């Protein structure tokens, strides 16, 4: 049954206002919900025919319909007008259930509404007045009910891991294609093909040698990646296993305890419709190490990476992000949301570390250890598929062991013989106190790589300062507009909860709260968290505590008709 409720007023039924009862009837004749109107920038192209049109976003929609007020007295008619006016000129909602029993109720986010008079002398004689209702609403609609997504830390702490193979020798390995040692003898690679996106194929690497998987470390962690978008299978003595979790190029497979003789990692490519001009290239699978671990997640539990497999809606949804711990202060917090479909991209550089200074254990470090950067530069070897091209905000977590001050650190990125060098003076505020430092925004990779490239991008961080220590670093893909990423950085200190409340009809701007007060000067970066259908990722660091949880509360958003 059709229902239409505007700011609590039933627009298809009886209402009471100021003690008077009257009938409101929205009329369907010239009813329109309007449309999200695209904000386009038109650039006249010099070298091609036509103009280039770029949609920056969508502007509000304008709805219009007429409402008939029917009463039996002048007072009732007047109460109808007063009731309608009381709901105009403010941010509120209008809820609509379309005709038919199958459709879901849709909520329009009203920015403002105005009432328009329409005179009809015959109506007036019959105690009927008709008004036009003009509504300016946000471009997209939403569902009635909030959806809550929660990412819990990996269970079973404390975390432990045991090395199976660091792959400094490729002797134990066989390959589906050409087998080579890779990355200065730190990895093994199989090269097959060439293939195009329309081909179905497998690339695999198999290790022969006895391995005992214990019940306390039942996950095999495979660090490595294919040069193409793949689904991964681990085959242990002929039995196939699917990944229990994937973070960037780390994949965990749950394997029953036992002693096994072969481990095969297979990257499978499903044929896809070629996008534009298909690239035909060699297909590679590169493996850097095998571990067995207690949990299918990152070891130190001060960071959390999670994929929400289902995001409802037909357009991206902004939502409230809550990070909390029951008993501990959160410390410095980074929270980042980003869409799926970016290959093996994940923000933490620690997934790719291949060289650096001697690591000293540090339980306050996000990575679990710290290293100097004045000798061997800390080096991360990032496969092309884990570094989609674009601007990246570079964040490091550093300290100086003896003195606050300003110190020069140098970031480099290299591929194909082209190096980007970025030297930044970072200000360290305390002595032997960890802090996030921003190295600004840099475009990576240094050279755009063709789809399917098997190249690695070598990223380093170094400094001439002996007492600087690095915990780890992050590359946050910076793209509020096109790829819908968002980065939030808060110094939460002893607060046990951070809530990022997005603008809504109650308050027209985003506010971040620590426990129950606004973060104020403790907020260092804020972009509205968005999760885009069909699935999305969240990544979080809480330096103050292990095992914080993250919660995302959102209304599924739709073009016009809610489906949920």
Partner 1 sequence: MFLTVDSRPVSEIGGWTITERTANLQGPEDLTWQMQPGPPDPLLKPGASVVLRDGSTVVWTGVLTRPVRGTGEFKAKGHATRAYSVPALDGAGAVTLNLDTAIDAAISRGALDWIRRTSIATAGVSSDSTTIDGVPTIGQLLDAAADETSQWWRVTPGRVVELYSKPTTPKWFVTGEAGTIDIVEGDYASRLYGRRRTNTAGVYATEHIDDTAAEAALGYSEATVDLTPLGYLTAGKAQSILTGMLAKGRARPSFANSVRGTRWQILTIGQVPAHLAAVEPGDLARFIVQHDETRLLQGRGYIDELIGRVIHTDPGVVEIQPDNLTRGADWRDAIAYMASKKGRKRR
Q: Which residues bind partner 1 (CB under 8 A)?
A: 39, 41, 43-48, 52, 54, 56-57, 389-391, 393, 395, 406, 418, 420, 425, 436, 438, 440-448, 476, 478-482, 487, 489, 503, 508-512, 518-521, 523-527
Cβ distance to partner 1 smaller for residue 103 or 503: 503
Question: C-beta of 351: minimal distance to partner 1 in Å?
Answer: 19
Contact 159, 174 (CB under 8 A): no
Question: C-beta of 506: minimal distance to partner 1 in Å?
Answer: 12
Cβ distance to partner 1 smaller for residue 52 or 155: 52
Backbone angles phi, psi at 495, to 5 degrees: -65, 140
Backbone angles phi, psi at 147, to 5 degrees: -110, 130
- Read off the tokens for 500: 């990022």
Query: Is the preceding peptide bond at 319 cis, omega within 30 degrees of 0?
Result: no
Q: Is 415 exposed, middle or buried (0-12, 13-18, 19+ CB in 10 A)?
A: buried
CB within 8 A of 341, min separation 6: which ones?
none
Question: C-beta of 426: minimal distance to partner 1 in Å?
Answer: 10
Contact 266, 202 (CB under 8 A): yes
Question: C-beta of 443: minimal distance to partner 1 in Å?
Answer: 5
Cβ distance to partner 1 smaller for residue 220 or 459: 459
Cβ distance to partner 1 smaller for residue 332 or 371: 332
CB within 8 A of 200, min separation 6: which ones?
268, 269, 270, 271
Please give, one letter per residue, the 3-state secondary structure of 476-496.
Answer: EECCCCCCCCEEEEEECCCCC
Q: Which residue has the tokens 């999670």?
A: 306
Cβ distance to partner 1 smaller for residue 21 or 423: 423
Q: Which residue has the tokens 């969508």?
A: 58
Compute the C-alpha angle 143/34/39, nearest 5°: 95
Query: Is the preceding peptide bond at 194 cis, omega within 30 degrees of 0?
Result: yes
Question: C-beta of 347: minimal distance to partner 1 in Å?
Answer: 11
Cβ distance to partner 1 smaller for residue 110 or 283: 110
Cβ distance to partner 1 smaller for residue 20 or 456: 456
Cβ distance to partner 1 smaller for residue 15 or 485: 485
Question: C-beta of 522: minimal distance to partner 1 in Å?
Answer: 9
Please give, one letter per residue, the 3-state secondary structure of 503-550.
Answer: CCCCCCCCEEEECCEECHHHEEECCCCEECCCCEEEEEEECCCCCCEE
- Read off the tokens for 84: 């309608």
Question: C-beta of 524: minimal distance to partner 1 in Å?
Answer: 7
Cβ distance to partner 1 smaller for residue 291 or 407: 407
Cβ distance to partner 1 smaller for residue 44 or 402: 44
Question: C-beta of 395: minimal distance to partner 1 in Å?
Answer: 5
CB within 8 A of 41, min separation 6: which ones?
53, 54, 56
Question: C-beta of 372: minimal distance to partner 1 in Å?
Answer: 23
Contact 526, 302 (CB under 8 A): no
Question: C-beta of 247: minimal distance to partner 1 in Å?
Answer: 21
CB within 8 A of 278, min separation 6: which ones?
196, 197, 198
């Amino acid at each position: 049954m059709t229902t239409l409720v505007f700011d609590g007023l039933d627009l298809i039924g009886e209402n009471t206002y100021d003690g008077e009862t009257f009938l409101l009837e929205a009329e369907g004749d010239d009813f329109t919900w309007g449309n999200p109107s695209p904000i386009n920038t038109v650039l006249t192209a010099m070298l091609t025919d036509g103009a280039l049109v770029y949609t920056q976003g969508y502007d509000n929609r304008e709805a219009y319909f007429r409402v008939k007020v029917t009463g039996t007295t002048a007072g009732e008619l007047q109460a109808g007008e007063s009731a309608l006016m009381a709901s105009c000129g403010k941010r509120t909602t209008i809820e609509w259930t379309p005709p038919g029993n199958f459709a879901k109720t849709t909520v329009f986010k009203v920015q403002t509404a105005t009432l328009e008079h329409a005179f009809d002398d015959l109506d007036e004689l019959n105690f009927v007045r008709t008004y036009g209702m003009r509504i300016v609403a946000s471009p997209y609609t939403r569902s009635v009910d909030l959806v809550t997504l929660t990412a819990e830390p990996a269970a079973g702490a404390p975390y432990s891991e045991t090395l199976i193979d660091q792959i400094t020798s490729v002797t134990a390995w066989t390959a589906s294609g050409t087998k080579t040692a890779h990355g200065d003898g730190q990895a093994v690679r199989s090269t097959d093909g060439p293939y195009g996106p329309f081909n179905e194929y497998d690339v695999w690497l198999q290790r022969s040698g006895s391995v005992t998987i214990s019940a306390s470390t039942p996950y095999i962690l495979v660090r490595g990646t294919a040069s193409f978008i793949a689904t991964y299978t681990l085959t242990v003595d002929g039995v196939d296993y699917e990944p229990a979790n994937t973070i960037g190029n780390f994949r965990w497979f749950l394997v029953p305890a036992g002693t096994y003789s072969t481990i095969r990692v297979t990257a499978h490519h499903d044929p896809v419709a070629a996008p534009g001009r298909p690239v035909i290239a060699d297909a590679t699978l590169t493996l850097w190490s095998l571990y067995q671990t207690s949990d299918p997640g990152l070891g130190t539990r001060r960071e959390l990476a999670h994929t929400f497999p289902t995001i409802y809606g037909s357009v991206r949804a902004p939502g409230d992000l809550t990070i909390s711990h029951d008993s501990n202060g959160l410390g410095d917090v980074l929270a980042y949301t980003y869409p799926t479909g970016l290959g093996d991209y994940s923000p933490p550089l620690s997934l790719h570390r291949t060289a650096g200074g001697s690591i000293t254990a540090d339980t306050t470090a996000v990575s679990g250890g710290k290293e100097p950067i004045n000798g061997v530069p800390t080096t991360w070897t990032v496969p092309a598929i884990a570094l989609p091209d674009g601007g990246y905000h570079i964040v490091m977590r550093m300290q100086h062991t003896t003195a606050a001050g300003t110190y020069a650190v140098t970031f480099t990125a290299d591929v194909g013989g082209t190096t980007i060098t970025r030297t930044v003076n970072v200000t360290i505020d305390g002595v032997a106190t960890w802090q996030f430092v921003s190295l600004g925004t840099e475009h990576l990779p240094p050279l755009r790589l063709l789809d399917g490239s098997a190249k690695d991008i070598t990223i380093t961080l170094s400094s001439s300062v002996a007492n600087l220590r690095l915990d780890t670093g992050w590359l946050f893909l910076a793209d509020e507009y096109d790829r819908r990423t968002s980065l939030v950085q808060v110094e939460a200190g002893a607060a046990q909860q951070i809530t990022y409340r997005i603008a809504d009809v109650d308050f027209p701007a985003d506010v971040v709260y620590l426990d129950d007060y606004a973060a104020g000067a403790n907020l260092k970066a804020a972009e509205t968290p968005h999760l885009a259908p069909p699935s999305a990722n969240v990544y979080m660091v809480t330096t103050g505590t292990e095992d914080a949880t993250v919660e995302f509360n959102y209304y599924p958003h739709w073009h016009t008709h809610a489906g949920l």
